[in-house]
Amino acid sequence: MGKYEPITELKVWQKSRVFRNEIFKLVEKLPKEEKYRLADQIIRSSRSITANIAEGHGKFYHKENIQSCRVARGELIETLDHLICAYDCNYIEKEQLKSLKAKIDEIHKMLNSYIKFLKSQV
């Protein structure tokens, strides 16, 4: 294993953090009746993206890190599903969904590349 790099230096974590913070701002605009339903789901899944990347990074074992990144990837797609629900309920506009999906696609590619790199280190 190479030199330790803090999680805050990992590009995929950084990008996921920015995305998570954007989701927090979006959730503030959802109707109050969605606070403990859709809003809570979106927050939980978006938080899990960065949390799982961090958890895997902290284990120092590539196989465990890969598994945590796979979980993060699943949470990323779950977040997309919640955003589609928000769109279907007319809580967000089509352009906002399109913009968020582009960010999700970018993070997805970054996670796949990171997983590929980790596999090459096993």
- Decide if pLDDT at 1 tops 60: no
State the fold for domain 7-121.
de novo design (two linked rop proteins) (1.20.1440)
Domain locations along the chain: 7-121
Give the predicted TM-score (pTM) of the model: 0.93
CB 88: neighbour CB atoms within 10 A?
A: 10
Please write the tens of the pLDDT for every residue from 80-102.
999 999 999 999 999 999 999 99
Q: Is the dihedral of CA 15, 18, 22, 24 positive or negative?
A: positive
Q: Which residues contact 100 (CB under 8 A, 6 or more apart)?
A: 19, 22, 23, 26, 80, 83, 92
Please write the tens of the pLDDT for every residue from 26-80.
999 999 999 889 999 999 999 999 999 999 999 879 999 999 999 999 999 999 9
